[in-house]
């Protein structure tokens, strides 16, 4: 019997409605409009699409949006000067540098230049450190979206055997750290698998919850999961047949208790959690939380 579809598109709408109320209250009670600055360097088409979607989300929610498009040949020092200006600008609560950056620019140096209080992507080492310690911090948007999907779908992580396939700084490492925290939405036993893992299937078959961010289509097949597993597919792969995830969806769905589709699963949550972080940043900087 096919499992429950965990539709990020629907859960994302729920969260956005909650954010609309928060934003209206901020404006009415405190005369505050959250502000997000997005820096796009170069002509990467996928990046243009992502930034456009972020702009659209800001407009729909009532968040002030400043988009700064720079040519690919922009010098690293110019970007650092721009970030320093945005760090000091009171109207801007969050700063997002769209990745990837051109090869001549040091991504780490640029991301570290964003003030931790405006790091709504959750990539600054201060926020990463706080996340690992379990202290309040801006959580990276995609992993935070995964947590929200699980919690709002009634999936209990307490004591669950979770297997994460992928160890990127954007998804794999942070979601593993979030899930081991001794708090709601965590308290799981987590195994992280990667390209160096021997006999991947022996690990994935143990999973009560399987989170796949491998970056390769059909990495996980039906014989690699147990009956009743919850599957979160983070992958987005463009094939001639359309977008597919990292999980062989149809056969795995027949064994799963619940599973995210691609598209319409994790994807919609990422931008929504960016909006969540921007609103939280506005509140923090105003001393409201």
CA-atom Rg of the chain in angstroms: 19
Tokens of 100: 């990837």
Question: How far from the centroid of its chain's Cα atoms is residue 262's Cα?
Answer: 15
- Among residues 98, 208, 248, 253, which one is catalytic? 98
Annotated active-site residue 248? The verdict is no
Question: Quick one: angle between helices 172-180 and 125-133, nearest 10?
Answer: 30
> In the chain, what is the greatest distance between 2 CA atoms, to the nearest angstrom?
57
The answer to whether the Cα torsion of 128, 134, 135, 137 is positive or negative is positive
Annotated active-site residue 54? The verdict is yes
Annotated active-site residue 98? The verdict is yes
What pTM, to 2 d.p., does this model score?
0.94
- Among residues 54, 118, 173, 255, which one is catalytic? 54
Rounded Cα–Cα distance for residues 251 and 255 (Å): 7
For 73-114, the pLDDT digits (tens) are 999 999 999 999 999 999 999 999 999 999 999 999 999 999
Measured from the Cβ of residue 193, the count of other Cβ atoms closer than 10 Å reads 23
8-27 average pLDDT score: 97
Rounded-to-10 torsion of CA 216, 169, 45, 215: 0
- Among residues 119, 121, 246, 248, which one is catalytic? 121
Q: What domains can be seen in the chain, in order of their start residue? A: 30-115 (3.40.50.10860), 141-267 (3.40.50.720)
Return the higher-pLDDT residue of 179 and 49.
179
C-alpha distances out from residue 111 to 33, 72, 79, 127, 155, Å = 24, 17, 10, 12, 33
């Amino acid at each position: 019997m096919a499992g429950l579809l965990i539709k990020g598109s629907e859960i994302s709408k729920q969260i956005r409605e909650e954010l609309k109320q928060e934003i209206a209250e901020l404006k009415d009670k405190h005369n505050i409009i959250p502000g997000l600055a997005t820096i796009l360097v170069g002509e990467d088409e996928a990046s243009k699409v992502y930034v456009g979607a972020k702009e659209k989300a800001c407009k729909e929610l009532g968040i002030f949006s400043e988009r700064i498009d720079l040519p690919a040949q922009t010098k690293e020092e110019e970007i650092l000067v721009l970030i320093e200006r945005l760090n000091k600008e009171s109207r801007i609560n969050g700063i997002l540098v769209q990745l990837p950056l051109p090869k001549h620019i040091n991504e780490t140096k640029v991301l570290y230049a964003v003030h931790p209080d405006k790091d709504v992507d959750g990539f600054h080492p201060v926020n990463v450190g706080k996340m690992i310690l379990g202290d309040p911090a801006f959580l990276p948007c995609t992993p935070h979206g995964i947590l929200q999907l699980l919690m709002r779908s009634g999936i209990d992580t307490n004591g669950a055997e979770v297997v994460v396939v992928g160890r990127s700084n954007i998804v794999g490492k942070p979601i593993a750290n979030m899930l081991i925290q001794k708090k709601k939405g965590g308290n799981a036993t987590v195994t992280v698998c990667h390209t160096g893992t021997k006999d991947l299937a022996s690990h994935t078959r143990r999973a009560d919850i399987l989170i796949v961010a491998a970056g390769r289509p059909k990495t996980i097949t039906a014989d690699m999961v147990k009956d009743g597993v919850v599957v979160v597919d983070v992958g987005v792969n463009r094939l001639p047949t359309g977008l597919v995830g990292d999980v062989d969806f149809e056969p795995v769905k027949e064994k799963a208790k619940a599973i995210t589709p691609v598209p319409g699963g994790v994807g919609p949550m990422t931008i929504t959690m960016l909006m969540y972080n921007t609103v939280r940043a506005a509140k923090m900087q105003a001393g409201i939380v």
